């Protein structure tokens, strides 16, 4: 792609890289959100371990995307556009995760405390939410 085409479509090479980082994060989160959002048969508490193992396996199987996520977090400090994209993706993942845990607890009564709702998508940085 020529620099002219990059400038026309993205504004700058850095904005192209930001868009690529955001896309990498979305590609890692999307299957996780789908997995968490799928309405399964009433889950059993015993299934939590294998589900968490599956999530941890994505760290190894999607290593380049995981690395892109951490690179994107660093870059987002200087890019409001990337920060907004990452906040939206993280919000969607948190919402799906919270929903999945709530479904699990609804079918498996437990003395666990009430789950805290995820913050709005605009909150940043993710470590403070």
Q: How far is 7 from 73, CA to CA, in rounded Å?
A: 24
Please give the mean pLDDT across all residues of the chain.
75
pTM: 0.62
Q: Which residue has the higher pLDDT, 39 or 89?
A: 89
The HSE-up count of residue 9 (CA atoms within 13 Å, CB side) is: 12
Q: How far is 124 from 106, CA to CA, in rounded Å?
A: 30
Q: What is the pLDDT of residue 129?
A: 43
Closest alpha carbon to 55 in 96, 16, 115: 96
Kindly report, residue by residue over 69-117, the tens digit of the pLDDT.
888 888 889 888 889 988 988 898 888 888 877 777 777 665 555 555 5
Q: Is the pLDDT of residue 48 over 80?
A: no
Q: What is the pLDDT of residue 14?
A: 77
Kindly report, residue by residue over 57-68, the tens digit of the pLDDT.
878 888 888 888
Q: How confident is the model at residue 118 (pLDDT cuts 50, 70, 90)?
A: low
Number of domains in the chain: 1
Q: What is the pLDDT of residue 112?
A: 52
Q: Which residue has the higher pLDDT, 48 or 18?
A: 18
| Token representation of residue 124 | 């940043």
Report the share of the chain in percent with pLDDT over 90.
Answer: 2
Q: Is the pLDDT of residue 42 over 80?
A: no
Domain region containing 68: 3-128
């Amino acid at each position: 792609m020529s620099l002219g085409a990059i400038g026309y479509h993205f504004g700058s090479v850095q904005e192209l890289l930001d868009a690529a980082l955001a896309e990498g994060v979305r590609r890692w989160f999307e299957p996780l959100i789908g997995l968490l959002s799928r309405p399964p048969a009433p889950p059993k508490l015993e299934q939590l371990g294998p589900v968490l193992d599956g999530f941890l396996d994505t760290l190894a199987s999607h290593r380049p995307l995981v690395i892109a996520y951490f690179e994107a977090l660093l870059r987002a400090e200087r890019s409001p556009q990337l920060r907004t994209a990452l906040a939206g993706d993280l919000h969607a993942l948190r919402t799906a995760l919270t929903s999945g845990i709530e479904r699990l607890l609804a079918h498996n009564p437990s003395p666990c405390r009430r789950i805290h709702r995820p913050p709005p998508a605009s909150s940043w940085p993710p470590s403070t939410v």
